[in-house]
Amino acid sequence: MRKKVTVVGAGNVGAACAQYLAESNLCDVALVDIVEGMPQGKALDLLQAGPVRGYNVKIEGSNDFAAAAGSSLIVITAGIARKPGMSREDLLNTNIQIMDSVMAGINANCPNTMILVVSNPLDVMTYRAWQKSKMPKNMVFGQAGVLDSTRFRTFVAMEMGCAVSETQAMVLGGHGDSMVPLPRYTTVGGIPITELISKERIDAIAQRTRDGGAEIVKLLKTGSAYYAPAASTVLMADAVLNDRKTMLAASAYLDGQYGLKDVFIGVPVTLGAKGVEKVHELKLEKSELEALQKSAGVYKEIIDSLPK
């Protein structure tokens, strides 16, 4: 029997997640959204693409969280998208209300289901989902570092003129302007980029990575990124559903690691069938650790101000 993933939010990111999940033949998919007819229409459209794209999974759309029952994983993409000039934190008030509503629906219909958060501001929304859920902290996590690392890899490959498959990267911290790219842990063909690219160019690439989402928002003018966020989300879903024990960066709960407590922030983790199975503490230089702690501090301050 195939496993099932529910995607909450049938906008661009949610629909792309549903598409990539279906095309991977990874699981059956439920697409849930409050907009009447939209999840049903997109689900039917995706079903009709199956014979051409070669997938054979069940896809249903619904306005009712009852459709999420029996899911192995809930992916939350619901929320308003950023507009030009808007930071992820600007989204906070509206998206917190949306998250509270989503969690009420999840708790009523599938309270013991693992949760993967994609909604922005990511690290705060992940904390809120866990705060409102009935799940242990290792079973709730956010998709941040995978996307940020993927962007870093892409820009490094562009700089080097090499295949993106030859690059690996690690980006820690919050999914926002305070993220912490780690050039020492970023490689091309196994060689650290600090041996291949000048510091000036590395700094420029790291900054472009921090601005990666904003750059796309500025170009689109009426929306935000969705292909890369969805692809990154499905990579994490695959790690959970197939118990791959994949090491990647995710927004995870910290309880003393890196000198941080009671906050979700992007760190290297092992992701498998039990969710975040281990948080890895890298040996960071003083400046890197300070940058990570500063990034976490931004979100901890926001978290502490949230209504209960």
Query: Residue 22 corresponds to which tokens in the numbers above?
Result: 């279906």
Contacts of 20 (CB under 8 A, 6+ apart): 230, 231, 233, 234
Catalytic residue among 4, 88, 151, 175: 175
Closest CA relative to residue 274, chosen from 178, 138, 143, 153: 138
**Is-catalytic flag, 175?**
yes
Contact predicate 124/302, CB 8 Å: yes
Contact predicate 87/176, CB 8 Å: yes
Which ranges constitute the DSSP H helices of the chain? Answer: 12-23, 38-53, 92-109, 122-132, 145-160, 199-210, 212-220, 227-241, 286-304
For β-strands 114-117 and 73-76, DSSP reports them as: parallel
The residues assigned a catalytic role are 175
